[in-house]
Structure formats: structure tokens, C-alpha cells
Amino acid sequence: MNYQLVLGVISAYFILLFLISYFTSRKVTADTFFTGDRQSPWFLVAFGMIGASLSGVTFISVPGEVGNTNFYYFQVVLGYTLGYFTIAKVLLPLYYRLNLVSIYSYLEDRFGFWSYKTGAFFFILSRALGSSLRVYLVASVLQLILFDALGIPFWVSVLITVGLIWLYTHRGGIKTVVWTDTLQTLFMLLAVVITIVMIGNDLELKSIGDYFNAVSEDKRSAIFNWDWKAGTNFFKQFISGAFITIVMTGLDQDMMQKNLTCRTIGDAQKNMFWFTIILVVVNLLFLSLGILLYLYAETKGLAIPAKTDELFPFLATQEFSALAGVVFVLGITAAAYSSADSTLTALTTSFCIDFLEIERKYAPEKRVSIRKKVHIAFTGLMFLLVLAFYWLNDQSVINSVFIIAGYTYGPLLGLYSFGLFTKMKVQDKWVPYLAVAAPVLTFIISSNSEKWLWGYKFGFEALILNGALMFLGLFLFRRKG
């Protein structure tokens, strides 16, 4: 690809983001960064959350993973619907009733100080790792198609990436993110649709029926796997999808912070309903794109890259037309920033509210100064984590994200389940130790499950085991009397 064209597209894109940032960050108060003044239109939140949920992982990794595991990922997506229903009917009413800024302050009211800090810490750990992994994926692609041609090393390109995010979010915070995520989701979805149409034209697919037949007749379009021993078994994937959604959306400050900017609980639930429908359709679209990418490569006699994450970038930048390449760059850039910008805002919010307690301890003018320093610190942390993943990761990123989630979100799942579905109190001082023990035991059991459990292999449902072990630990260390 012509790197000058790529640079021009990305520059124009960022001009748009900075314009949005300028208009949304005027007349901000000390709390606007955290709450968006609770004036966000629900339909903007719903549409913008699509981009934040999918990110560059879905954009690149899901289509490529079709070559390894068919459409089995869609079993997880079907499970999402149950998870989002639970969020809308159980968690959102709780958060709105308590008028929360940070959702983890619920744990302090329910259990105590150490439970609260443990929940907030595991969110920061989970989201920092997961989002940095997503940024790493996209930064690697941009390095290949742009920064290598400019002679810019990877660490500099990552620094530019996270620095730009900081620039357009440091004043408006979540208020800016709601609007920029809407724009970024639009660009990402347009990129997918345009790419599908372009591939279809090359494969001589004339109608929607032709597209449907091309995808459905391919053996990789198999959705259901009933082998109970396999990690991609339907029941494992479906149930895991529900729990992944509950923890990675409903128990995640990043995703819930957007919902809590809606004016009312009714608006927030409406947002969740439409968001769920769109998300299912969009994931099916990404999986279908995966089959079309493989069909294109096979038709042209092209060698499939060893790492499936590289298939889409390889075809878009080396084989497709210049227009398709530009569309890809725009889509991958939008995907990267729609996830990372909201993450930095949420991490800053959680640390300021949950650990520094700035609402309780500092005057409004002092809060702004502290929040800015924390925002810069988390930008630096994301930079370092992306570099770490650059050296360590060697597998499909979509799998890496869910593997990390299985270990880091499990304690949150156990804590909230115990809080919502029992009336028991716990010995609060033991909660941090239980939150470390549960993931460790999960790792030991899942690593040896085939030997200990008659060939059973854990997949994403390791998250459920982790949460159950945390729940059990809380029960054993409950306060009696």
C-alpha cells in the first residue's frame, strides 16, 4: 500500500476525533469526565458500545479464527444475549438505584472495605491487560502497513497511538468517548460491509442470496459443536458467553460507565436491548467475512498466513485494491481507538473514585489536577503493557483476551454473585486472599482437567469455575451469627 495515502487517511480521521473532542469538552465540570453529566442519548450509547465491545480483536481476529474453529465463536455470541438480559434486568437497576459513579462502590456497602478495593483492583488488572492486548493487535498491523515504511520503530508507533488517545480524551472524558465511539463504530462497520461487497464482486457474487449460499455452503460455516470433551462444545460456549458478557460488560466499569451516562434507567435498558440485537448481527457479519477471506485466498491460490490474525491485514494491504486497503486502515484504526479511549477513561475513573476517593477527600478544583495525573499514568501503563505483549504473544488474540478474562474477572463474578444472590456477610479481611486463590486453583484444575476429569478440556468456561471457587471461598469465610 501507498504509505502516504494511509498516513493521509489516518490524519483526516484524527482531525475528526479532535473536532468532536473540542465540542464535547466545552463547559465541563470537575465531574463531567466521570459521568458525562448523565445526559447521553441512549441511542448514541448503544451504537457506540458496539465499537467498544468489538474492538480490533473482532475486526482482525474473529474472521481469521474461522479457519481454525469454523463459526463456533457464534455459540459464544448466542450466549451473550442471555448475559445482556441479566445485565439489563439485574445489574443496571442496582447501579441506578444506588446512583453509582464507580460500580465497585456497591461492594463496600455490601461486604466492606477490602471487598470494595479487591473488586476495583481486579477490574483495573482485567481491563488494563485486555485492552492493552487489543491495542497491541492493531498497533502491530499499523506498524506493518505504515510505520515500517516511515522507518519508525514499534515502540514509537505505540507511543504515538496512546498519546493521541490521551490528547482527545483528557478533558471531556466519558462525555467525549460516547460521541467518538459512535463515529468509530460507524467507520468500523462501514469498513466491514464495503470489504464484503468488494470481495463478493471479485468472487462474482451478484445478490444477497449468492453471498448467503457462498457462506452457508462452506464447511467452515458450521456453528454447533456437540462434542462434550471439546473446548468449543455448544453448552460450554453458550454458558461461557453469558458469563463472559456479565463480567466483561455488567461488572466492568468501562462498559457500565457509558450506560450510567444515560438519563434514566429506562434509557439504559433500552440501550442494552438494541445493543444486543445489533451486536449479534455484527458478529455474524464478521464471521461471514472470515469465510469470504478464505474463499478469496483459495480462489487466487494464495498461501494462508500461519497466524490467522494476519489473514485479513495481509489480503487488505497486499492483494486487495487501493480503495479496499484504505477502507481496512480506516476500520482497524476506528476499532483500535473505540476500545482504548473508553478504557483509559474507565481506568482513570476507577482509580480516582475507588482508590484515591477524590469525591470524598478533595475539592472540585483539586480533583481535576489529580485526575489529569492519573490519566497520564494509565496512558503510560498501557504503553508498557502493549510492548510486553509484543514480545510475549504468539496465539490468536481473540483467544488470549478470553483466557485473560477467565482468570482476572472470575473473582468479580464470585463477589457479585454472592452479594446479589445471598444475604450473608463475609469476613472482609479474607476477601483479597480468596480473590488470588480462586484464579490459582482454576489454573491448576484447568491445566490438569484432561488427566483428572476423563478427558474433559476447559475452554472459556474456566471463568465459571473461577467464579464458583470464589463464591465457595466467600461461603466458607462468611460471617456467622
Helix, strand and coil percent figures for the chain, each rounded to 5:
80, 0, 20
For residue 426, the cross-strand partners are 478
Quick one: DSSP state of residue 209? Answer: H
CA dihedral 289, 292, 294, 298 (to 10 degrees): -170
CB 409 within 8 A of CB 378: no
CB 167 within 8 A of CB 427: no
pLDDT of residue 36: 57
pLDDT, tens digit only, all 481 positions of the chain:
567 777 888 888 888 888 887 777 776 665 556 655 566 676 777 777 776 676 666 777 889 889 888 999 999 999 999 999 999 999 999 999 988 888 999 999 999 999 999 999 998 988 888 778 778 877 877 787 778 888 899 999 889 888 888 887 776 666 777 777 777 778 888 888 989 999 999 999 989 999 999 999 999 999 999 887 777 889 988 998 898 889 888 998 877 877 787 888 988 888 888 889 888 998 999 999 999 999 999 999 998 888 887 888 888 878 888 888 888 888 877 776 766 777 788 888 889 888 998 878 888 778 878 888 998 999 999 999 888 888 876 545 556 666 777 788 899 999 999 999 999 999 999 999 999 999 999 999 988 988 898 888 787 788 889 999 999 999 999 988 6
Q: Nearest Cα to 351, choosing from 146, 167, 101? A: 101
pLDDT of residue 101: 80
pLDDT of residue 28: 63
